[in-house]
């Protein structure tokens, strides 16, 4: 590269000296070999400049791609942290709703039972939606971003949720059983009252 620059400089000096010594000389009277060398070196310079320009553009594109990629990764990380925060809140609310469900059993309060049951179902659905969002994010590049560690953190909460679901189902079955017994007692009580009334009527008739 240094030799090319030196040769180019020498040729320029030769052409300049020739012009100074012969101010009226025409371009076609110059040394053909020198002119060809100048053209060749100028052309080579242009090619090198073009290559450098293309390399610079490629580097800029790569930098832009890296910046865009980092922004996307940062956005996913922020979203994952938001999901984690919502998941913790949902599990906490689910526990509160479950405690209310248990309290409604003793003493038995059908109104509180109904309200607590609705609250539990609501939180279970909420956790299900968050879980699905988290899984979709994991499938779209989460392993590369370190979401595997986040999944490990979520796993105990998922187990807790599944356990609460089983307990809620058991409680609901117990509630249905108690309702059935209550209906049976009500029907039996009504029948007993009717029979008592009939007996009273018969005794009064005699």
Q: Looking at 3-17, 20-34, 61-75, which range is the least confident one?
A: 20-34
- What is the SS3 string spanning the chain? CHHHHHHHHHHHHHHHHHHHHCCCCCHHHCCHHHHHHHHHHHHHHHHHHHHHHHHHHHHHHHHHHHHHHHHHHHHHHHHHHHHHHHHHHHHHHHHHHHHHHHHCCCCCCHHHHHHHHHHHHHHHHHHHHHHHHHHHHHHCCHHHHCHHHHHHHHHHHHHHHHHHHHHHHHHHHHHHHHHHHHHHHHHHHHHHHHHHHHHHHHHHHC
pLDDT at res. 25? 45
More confident of the two residues 91 and 154: 91
User: What's the pLDDT at 2?
Assistant: 45
Would you place residue 150 in the very low, low, confident or very high pLDDT band (cuts 50, 70, 90)? low
Q: CA–CA separation, 87 vs 81, rounded Å?
A: 10
**How confident is the model at residue 24, as a pLDDT?**
45
In the chain, where the domains are located = 31-205
> Residue 162: what pLDDT?
74
The C-alpha atoms of residue 206 and residue 199 are separated, in whole angstroms, by: 11
Confidence of residue 11 (pLDDT cuts 50, 70, 90): low
pLDDT of residue 59: 67
Q: Is the separation of the CB atoms in 1 and 45 below 8 Å?
A: no
Q: What is the mean pLDDT of residues 144-156?
A: 57
pLDDT value, residue 29 = 47
- pLDDT tens across 89-142, in order? 888 888 888 888 778 777 777 788 788 888 888 888 888 888 787 777 767 654
Q: Picking from 14-18, 70-74, 76-80, which range would have the lowest pLDDT averaged per residue? A: 14-18
pTM to 2 decimals?
Answer: 0.41
């Amino acid at each position: 590269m240094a030799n090319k620059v030196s040769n180019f400089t020498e040729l320029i000096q030769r052409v300049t000296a020739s012009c100074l010594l012969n101010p009226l000389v025409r371009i076609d009277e110059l040394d053909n070999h020198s002119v060809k060398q100048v053209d060749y070196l100028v052309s080579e310079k242009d090619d090198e400049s073009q290559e450098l320009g293309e390399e610079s553009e490629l580097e800029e594109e790569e930098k832009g791609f890296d910046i865009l990629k980092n922004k996307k990764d940062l956005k996913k990380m922020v979203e994952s942290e938001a999901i984690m925060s919502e998941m913790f809140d949902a599990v906490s609310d689910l526990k509160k709703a479950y405690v209310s469900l248990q309290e409604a059993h003793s003493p038995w309060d059908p109104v509180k039972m109904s309200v607590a049951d609705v609250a539990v179902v609501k939180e279970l659905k909420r956790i299900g939606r968050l879980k699905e969002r988290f899984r979709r994010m994991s499938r779209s590049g989460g392993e590369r971003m370190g979401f595997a560690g986040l999944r490990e953190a979520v796993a105990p909460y998922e187990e807790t949720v599944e356990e609460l679901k089983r307990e809620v189902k058991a409680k609901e079955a117990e509630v249905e059983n108690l309702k059935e017994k209550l209906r049976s007692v009500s029907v039996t009580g009504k029948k007993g009252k009717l029979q008592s009334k009939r007996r009273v009527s018969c005794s009064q008739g005699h």
